[in-house]
Amino acid sequence: MTTNILFAAKAERWTTYETPLTKALTGAGIDFDLRTEFAPEEVDYIVYAPNSDVQDFTPYTRLRAVLNLWAGVEGVVGNETLTVPLTRLVDHGLTQGMIEWVMGHTLRYHLGIDGHINGQDGIWRNVAPPLAQDRKVTVLGLGALGAAVAQALAGLGFDVTGWSRSPKEIDRIHCECGPQGLQAALSEADIVVLLLPNTPATENTLNAESLALMPRGAFIINPGRGPLIDDDALLVALDSGQIAHATLDVFRIEPLPADHAFWAHPQVTVTPHIASETRASTASQVIAENIRRDLNGEPLLHVVDRTLGY
């Protein structure tokens, strides 16, 4: 029997995904019909972007699962009409891209690269950075991306602490959890990397109180979600010198408005949500494998826990 797969996303996504998704589904041995339009009652799976036109899942009476194209599911997880399993995208291409971006900006801070780039004034400043083993890096969020980033940083020799809401055990990473664990994880962090999901429980994880826990002159790297940081509190901490610099890839409003204070602040680096882009070729393989598993009675991978929101 042919499996009907609806691709529900913006038109430009279909242009990018049609060929690699067709190839991946064929390679997985699935007898499928992949389209951007079906009668709702004929659809078995939806490959989904939360900004698509599909917002009411009630008519999809044959639907078995919704496979999100993005790692973030905050745009769909609260949809009360969605009652079938929802999976988030955990893709090795996305993970590798995140590792590379975080490593680059961590090394930028660790090595003091900005000072050398901006300090071409004829003054010989012979001050070497410490070794990575003497630099404390905290990763907030130990899901698939956070754990991979933490282990990559540890692989370079950094002293890495990870924090999550629930207990975790990760090789070479000192893991903290819960409110007291967050205080401990921030209190010695020279560099903090935010890779938490966006949920009501994680909003403003970095606020005036938690920013004050960090050592004076610490650095922040946020490729996770914009609402993880209280923008006004961060600006105050930057102006006071409590935080030396922040590299921000994600924001509450995107694109970041041209008049936002982050653009002009000398201690903020803005990057345009490029820390890790979903690659169609690798994402398609993940989606095809999940459909193959479900059709063969195997459990879906990366199913979202609706109670946690990710």
Is 273 assigned a catalytic role? yes
Give me the catalytic one of 13, 225, 245, 302.
Answer: 225
CA dist., res. 171 & res. 151, Å (int):
8
Residues 290, 68: Cα–Cα separation, whole Å: 11
Out of 273, 279, 293, 306, pick the active-site residue. 273
Edge-first strand listing for the sheet containing 268-270: 174-177, 159-164, 136-140, 191-194, 218-222, 243-248, 268-270
Residue 163: in which H helix or E strand, if any?
strand 159-164
- For 222, counting Cβ atoms within 10 Å of its Cβ (0-12 exposed, 13-18 middle, 19+ buried), the class is buried
The secondary structure of 221-241 as a DSSP string is EE-S-GGGB-HHHHHHHHHHT
Exposed/middle/buried for residue 149 (C-beta within 10 Å: 0-12, 13-18, 19+): buried
Tell me the two tokens of residue 96: 């590798």
- 202 neighbors 196 (Cβ within 8 angstroms): yes
Active site residue 105: no
At a CB cut-off of 8 Å and minimum separation 6, what does 121 contact? Answer: none
Residues identified as active-site = 225, 273
